[in-house]
Chains A and B, each alone.
Chain A
């Protein structure tokens, strides 16, 4: 991946050697009161296509993150924060609200029911505005886990019986795991397969209800429980850097000092 991206960067930079057009960033102060539909009248005649099209909500990220930009010629910072942090001093009458917070147009109809589908697309779209550990967790904590969409949560681990007539897992404590699951070996329960798939696809969604990962660490732990290894394939090359960055405080959540 790194090699491919480096090659792409080089190719793009090589393009700089070709042709020059008249484009350059220009001030738009004085046009801030103009409506979007009027912009193209000037842009067409100057041969520069304007960029506030119908998909601008999705596209503006790339323009806003580059410096310098001329967003501030027409917009105050409140324009950004009203969408990203729920403000509404200039809210459009087409926008709905959730409590005192205004929602951008991407939050269509009953977003409480639709957001699990949207979150399975590009999850980063959610976290550009919402902090998973705080915003999402605070809201999810008000709803019961049985009402959540995930298959692994509809039939939870604690509900799985040991056999057709045996007791459910809820009657056992974490220290009992090793009595049946020797060396942390898990049977091919549907739960264990589906929760792993769901977690890998959208790990941040786990964080929305379990911000500290306490539930995960019952099994994914080097000292207690099933001791299931959760690390990615490149773990050997990144663990030192991540450990040093956090002063090993993340490692120590699961490992004994000096054992990792």
Chain B
């Protein structure tokens, strides 16, 4: 099956390439992007990787016509000797679909597409239908073959299907409200049945919101987010949010019969956004688990624009609390503390530079030896050679408990038409 889909993908890409090359010279409605990438370095087990990847993305939108086409995919091969990934020719077709407007208020999308409803998300080979303006209501229907990407290839079993419906308010001032229902099938057996609801309301400087997911088969709210945004000024937001999750599994998985613990998170955050030159964010969240264990997380960040051509970014977060279990010391808590600093600089209109550093210090209760740390540094540049062609280069070095120096690099040639 995998062989068949790989062939299908390669054929699709080759077909589209011929189509593009022949149509490109005189077709304004056609937009086409290509990125040829060379990536090298060590993989996670220290083996060399030397990858050539080719991306293609296209859209064809003829003016005055009720249809359009969009597609995106990638082919790659690792010429090194990787220990973690495969080194065959591999491919991913991310999407390839036809949009067709049946009437001004009814449109359909046919082909591989990403569908995102509150009750469930799918990358599917199938069809979706949007119906607008049924009074204040709109309806979205979607169904097809569920596509799953594994580490290197595509994995989809026979009888894996996704079907969903979303009914939502449209063009109602100040209010967003939608309910959705999703079913998934695994080898033609019902593996998931979920109900979803999302809500947001705008009332002067307050905006309460909620998103709920209910697992019908397990009879639990497997995910719930309830919060409120407060805008005392248009550039200051204060957020308070509660998040709940209870792990559930496909009914066809043995894990669906096991007991699990709830996870909850209480968050408060303030974000102050000046157009120029500073954006600040500070947040705190309390994470709780059953049996009384918990963790505290503090986040601080800033983005600064000292000039029109320079952007600086800094973020720091600190987490202390439940991280595992050490049977010898009875310790439950661990710590993760780290930051990122990065900068973008536009040297000329067609030449930009990028650089950054990340650092993490962490300890886990299972690791009784010591605290560990990890660092990553990178520099890069992008040269826009012409309106249609750009070249990027990036170099990275890693220093951590597994590597003294793990280097990664990439060069990309981007071509837009």
Contacts and interface: CB of A to CB of B under 8 A. Distances in A.
Interface of A: 1-2, 5, 8-9, 12-13, 15-16, 18-25, 37-38, 40-41, 43-44, 47-50, 53-55, 62, 64-68, 76-78, 80-81, 85-89, 91-94, 96-100, 105, 108-110, 112-114, 116-118, 120-124, 128, 131, 133-135, 138-139, 142, 149-151, 154-155, 190-191, 193-194, 197-204, 206-207, 212-213, 216-217, 220, 230-235, 237-238, 241-242, 245-247, 249-251, 253-254
B140 interface: yes
A80 B155 CA distance: 20
A12 B334 CA distance: 38
B93 to A, nearest CB: 10
B201 A249 contact: no
Nearest to A136: B151
Nearest to B77: A100
B251 A246 contact: yes
Given A40-B275, A203-B249, A20 B193 contact: no
Given A62-B225, A109-B338, 20 more contacts: A1-B220, A23-B202, A40-B274, A54-B279, A76-B57, A77-B95, A78-B95, A80-B114, A88-B53, A89-B35, A92-B354, A109-B359, A109-B398, A110-B402, A112-B44, A120-B322, A121-B297, A139-B84, A200-B290, A246-B190
B219 A55 contact: no
B201 A22 contact: no
A74 B396 CA distance: 30
B186 to A, nearest CB: 8
9 contacts: A21-B174, A37-B275, A47-B234, A53-B281, A80-B116, A97-B39, A99-B84, A116-B364, A198-B325
A12 B210 contact: yes
Contacts of B44: 98, 112
B251 A96 contact: no
B268 interface: no
B224 A93 contact: no
Contacts of A235: 257
Contacts of B324: 116, 120, 149-151, 198
Interface string B76-99: 101000111100001010110000
A131 B150 contact: yes
A114 B410 CA distance: 24
Nearest to A99: B85
B201 A232 contact: no
A41 B275 contact: yes
Contacts of A19: 174, 203-204
A157 to B, nearest CB: 13
Contacts of B59: 76
Interface string B105-138: 0000000011011100101000000001000001
Contacts of A15: 201, 203, 208
Nearest to B363: A117
Interface string B367-402: 100001011101011100000000010101010111
A123 B273 CA distance: 30
B72 A78 contact: yes
Given A67-B117, A109-B375, A194 B325 contact: yes
A117 B362 contact: yes
Contacts of B178: 66-67
A113 B374 contact: yes
Nearest to B331: A151
Contact of B323 (A64, A94, A120): A120
B305 interface: yes
B55 A89 contact: yes
B173 interface: yes
Nearest to B379: A93
Contacts of B174: 19-21, 23-24
Contacts of A48: 234
Contact of A65 (B204, B211, B259, B323): B211
Given A203-B255, A250-B253, A151 B326 contact: yes
A50 B37 CA distance: 34
B261 interface: yes
B389 to A, nearest CB: 14
Contact of A135 (B150, B170, B359): B150
Interface in B245-268: 245, 247, 249, 251-261, 263, 265
Contacts of B315: 54
A142 B381 CA distance: 34
B362 A99 contact: no
A164 to B, nearest CB: 17
Given A65-B211, A247-B189, A250-B256, A100 B334 contact: no
Nearest to B250: A246
A46 B380 CA distance: 37
Residue of B216, B235, B254 with most chain A CB atoms under a 10 A cut-off: B254
B55 A108 contact: no
A217 B394 CA distance: 47
Contact of A114 (B226, B251, B362): B362
A54 B235 contact: no
A109 B360 contact: yes
Given A93-B382, A204-B255, A38 B360 contact: no
B171 interface: yes
A54 B271 contact: yes
A212 to B, nearest CB: 7
Contacts of B149: 85-86, 131, 134-135
B74 A100 contact: yes
A92 B209 CA distance: 31
B356 to A, nearest CB: 5
A213 B74 contact: no
B138 A67 contact: yes
Nearest to A85: B149
Contacts of B367: 149
A9 B210 contact: yes
A212 B254 CA distance: 7
Nearest to B216: A241
